[in-house]
């Protein structure tokens, strides 16, 4: 069951990681200009979670009709943790949306791949993540792969965009990568320090509270920036038409919610490091889709960066396979050893 749950969450994560950036870029390339609104869409679909949470509540109530049924499992400590994670996620959403507004999807995706290095570092500090030579090699390769893109900034710069704007987009996306690299281990740390049993229902509650506060932060910023008044005008002026504008907005909110559910689900089933690896692993798919749908240039720097990233993935998974084999062998040895000792 846990393996099945992991596969479901990995699928959701892949859908969000590949579809979210493409829809966000579609919004910006066809007339969308609202950064905070685009940030809002990343977590604004949180009410969708009320559906599975309501189903889970009804099932609990029907299974034990004679006992009182809790509406929410979350205790104050975990609620506080999810609030902090939510506010950090809101800031991260803004940095990422601003970066995507200035960079091609293929470039921003490669930069985001560097978050694996930051996730690894923060996971080591917060949850004492253990490393092998293979995982360290993967982190270095992915970091270098993202750094290669900074060496040549004119090859895929969008038309009408200055070199300064391109660099701004690059460093904002890198900042989003650093911050999210901290958020993932922080979620895992929150689970470990929750002082209550972590179930998948509780994971969804954590996700809902997190997205609520991230959305609240973006909502306040939108009010200050007068974004709500501008949405109707922006929809009328959208290159693809007013109806398709709202389709892009609604589908974006749903796709991004798939991403966040997948992220916290993978952390629940495994670890924050695996979640970061799955995000980075979707990179080749996002690259290909960006080239197909947006006719983006696939420069030599992107080729080198992609090659280093894939090398890093292979290195990590090879190391994980070797480590599991070693642990299995050690376990079998420990099991056999006592039985071979003669009884007195």
Q: Which two tokens stand for residue 326?
A: 């070693």
Say how far apart CA 305 and CA 17 lie, in whole Å.
Answer: 18
**Mean per-residue pLDDT for 113-140?**
80
- Angstrom distance (rounded) from CA 123 to CA 92: 18
- What pLDDT score does 244 carry? 95
- CA–CA distance, 261 with 46 (Å, rounded to integer): 10
Beta-carbon contacts of 59 under 8 Å, excluding residues fewer than 6 positions away, are: none
Q: Is residue 110 scored above 80 in pLDDT?
A: no
Residues 63 and 139: their CA atoms lie apart, in Å, by: 47
Average pLDDT for 91-112 = 87
What's the pLDDT at 238?
95
The pLDDT score that the predictor gives to residue 336 is 64
Give the pLDDT mean for 256-273.
88
Q: What is the Cα–Cα distance from 116 to 273, expressed in whole angstroms?
A: 7
Write down the H helix ranges in the chain.
Answer: 2-29, 35-43, 50-63, 76-102, 105-112, 115-127, 133-148, 163-192, 200-224, 227-236, 242-269, 272-281, 283-294, 300-339
Lowest mean pLDDT among 145-154, 264-273, 276-285, 318-327: 145-154
Q: What is the pLDDT of residue 156?
A: 63
* pLDDT in the model for residue 154: 54
pLDDT at residue 151, as a whole number: 62
Given this model, what pLDDT does residue 211 score?
Answer: 95
Which tens digits make up the pLDDT trace of 147-193? 676 565 555 667 667 888 888 998 999 999 999 999 999 998 998 88
Any residues with CB less than 8 A from the CB of 237 and at least 6 apart, and which?
A: 31
Tell whether the model's pLDDT for residue 337 goes beyond 70: no
pLDDT for res 229: 92
Q: Which of 47-56, 98-107, 294-303, 333-342 has the least mean pLDDT?
A: 333-342
> What tokens appear for 104 in the block?
């091609």
Q: Is the confidence at residue 141, as pLDDT, over 60?
A: yes
- Per the CB < 8 A criterion, the answer to whether 57 and 69 are in contact is yes
d(CA 109, CA 318): 23
Q: What does the alpha-carbon distance between residue 169 and residue 104 come to, in Å, rounded to a whole number?
A: 10
CB distance 201 to 217 below 8 Å: no
* Angle, helix 242-269 to helix 227-236, in steps of 10 degrees: 120
pLDDT in tens, 277-291: 788 777 777 877 887
Fill in the DSSP letter of residue 157: P
| Residue, of 129 and 44, whose pLDDT is higher | 44
Q: What percent of the chain has pLDDT over 90?
A: 40
Separation CA 257–CA 49 (nearest Å): 9
The stretch 237-258 carries a mean pLDDT of: 94
pLDDT on residue 326: 81
């Amino acid at each position: 069951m846990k393996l099945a749950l992991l596969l479901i969450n990995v699928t959701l994560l892949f859908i969000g990681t590949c579809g979210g950036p493409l829809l966000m870029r579609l919004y910006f390339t066809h007339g969308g200009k609202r950064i905070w609104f685009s940030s809002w869409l990343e977590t604004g679909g949180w009410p969708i979670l009320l559906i599975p949470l309501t189903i889970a509540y009804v099932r609990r109530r029907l299974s034990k009709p004679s006992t009182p049924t809790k509406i929410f499992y979350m205790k104050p400590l975990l609620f506080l943790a999810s609030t902090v994670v939510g506010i950090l996620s809101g800031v991260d959403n803004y940095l990422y949306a601003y970066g995507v507004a200035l960079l091609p999807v293929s470039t921003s995706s490669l930069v985001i791949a560097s978050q694996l290095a930051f996730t690894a570092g923060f996971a080591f500090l917060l949850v004492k993540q253990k490393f092998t030579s293979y995982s360290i090699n993967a982190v270095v390769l992915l970091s270098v792969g993202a750094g290669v893109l900074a060496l040549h900034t004119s090859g895929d710069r969008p038309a009408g965009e200055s070199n300064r704007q391109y660099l701004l987009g690059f460093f904002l996306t890198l900042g989003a990568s650093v911050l999210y690299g901290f958020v993932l281990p922080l979620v895992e740390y929150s689970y470990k320090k929750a002082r209550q049993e972590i179930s998948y229902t509780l994971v969804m509650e954590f996700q809902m509270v997190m997205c609520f506060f991230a959305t609240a932060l973006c909502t306040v910023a939108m009010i200050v920036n007068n974004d709500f008044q501008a949405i109707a005008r922006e929809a009328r002026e959208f290159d693809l038409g007013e109806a398709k504008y709202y389709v892009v907005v609604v589908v974006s909110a749903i796709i991004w919610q798939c991403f966040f559910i997948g992220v916290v689900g993978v952390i629940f089933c495994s670890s924050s490091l695996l979640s970061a690896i799955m995000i980075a692993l979707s990179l080749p798919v996002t690259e290909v889709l960006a080239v197909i749908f947006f006719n983006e240039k696939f420069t030599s720097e992107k080729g080198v960066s992609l090659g280093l990233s894939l090398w890093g993935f292979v290195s990590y998974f090879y190391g994980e396979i070797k480590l599991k084999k070693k642990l299995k062998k050690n376990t079998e040895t420990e099991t056999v050893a006592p039985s071979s000792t003669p009884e007195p």
